[in-house]
Structure 1
Amino acid sequence: MAIHSQSLVVIGILLLALVTVESGGVFLTRVVRGGVPANTLQKSFFRAGHAHAAVLLVLSVVILSVVDSAKLSGAWDVIARYGVPAAAILMPAGFFLSVIGRDPAGPNRLVVLLWAGVGCVTAGLIVAGIGILAAGLAAF
């Protein structure tokens, strides 16, 4: 099974993006140790943003490695191929950006990015999963 050149480019970008997650881990360590002031809400959202970024980037690499075999077309291909990578940007952005500022009591309006990411990851997983499953069953 050959991986499409477009998928290889995106996988390369995603692997490089994992370096930003690594530097985010350094930031998170500083927050937890008290080097960066943050309230309980911010600490929770920063942890969630960091974890979601890492998991979704790795999941994106896995999906892109196999989605070519589904032979999807048009919008279905775009959703399957880019839904989870889009969520890897949107969800962490929602977690981090919705609690910026000094001692926020709750998330701000940018929390909508989190929910946009939820929609992207859900659509991407459903379309990729069905497409890959159909390709596998058709190969029997």
Structure 2
Amino acid sequence: MLELSDPARITAGIVLLTVVGIESGGFFLLKVFGGKLVTTDLQKSFYRAGHAHAGVLVILGLLCVLLTEATALTGFAHWLAATGVLCAAILMPAGFFFSAMGAGRTAPNRAVVLIPVGAVFLGAGVVMLAIGLLLG
């Protein structure tokens, strides 16, 4: 049985609580696609993408927290492997949602920069974890 360190256990517990927020995002999407909220095509696509990225990245992030416990990584490398994807799970959805906010928006605002920043965290986190797992 895998025994989690206290930081990994606490991180996983907190992340699991965020699923409630993702769930409420699903309720919001039901309003958007049910026609109860007036949105543009850009907003519909960005809201859908933000919700999907949040759900998928939280699941992948939890897996990364667990797998990092099986590595010998320390310091920043350990932090990046364990939480890089979780940072992306915040940044990328935030970029999708915040850049599409505003009545009648048809082009993303400057918050769209959060999407590639999140992508950097995603890539760096999974590469670091892969290195840690391959090196033992």
Q: How does 1:28-47 map to 2 (within 5 A)?
A: 28-47=29-48
How far apart are the structure 1 equivalents of 2:7 and 2:76? 16
| Uncovered stretches (5+) of structure 1, i.e. residues with no partner | 136-140
Tell me by how many angstroms 1:65 deviates.
1.0
**Displacement, 1:54?**
0.4
Q: Does 1:125 align with 2:131?
A: no
Amino acid aligned to 1:58: I
Q: d(CA) in 2 for partners of 1:133 and 1:110?
A: 36
Matched, 1:88 2:109: no
2:42·2:100 contact (CA, 8 Å) conserved in 1? yes
Residues in 2 aligned to 1:29 and 1:37: alpha-carbon distance in whole angstroms: 12
Deviation at 1:80, TM superposition (A): 0.6
Percent sequence identity is 42
Q: Any idea what the Cα deviations from partners look like across 1:56-88, whole Å, max 9, x if unmatched?
A: 001111111121111201211111111001000
After TM superposition, the score normalised by the length of structure 2 is 0.96
Query: Aligned AA for 1:50?
Result: H
What is residue 19 of structure 1 aligned with on the other side?
20
How many residues are treated as equivalent by the alignment? 135
CA distance in 1, matches of 2:106, 2:29: 20
**What amino acid sits opposite 1:47 in the alignment?**
R
Deviation at 1:101, TM superposition (A): 0.4
Q: Which amino acid aligns with 1:103?
A: G
Could you say what the CA RMSD is over the residues aligned between the two structures, in angstroms?
Answer: 0.8
Worse-matched range after superposition: 119-128 or 69-78 = 69-78
Structure 2: runs of 5+ lacking an equivalent: none
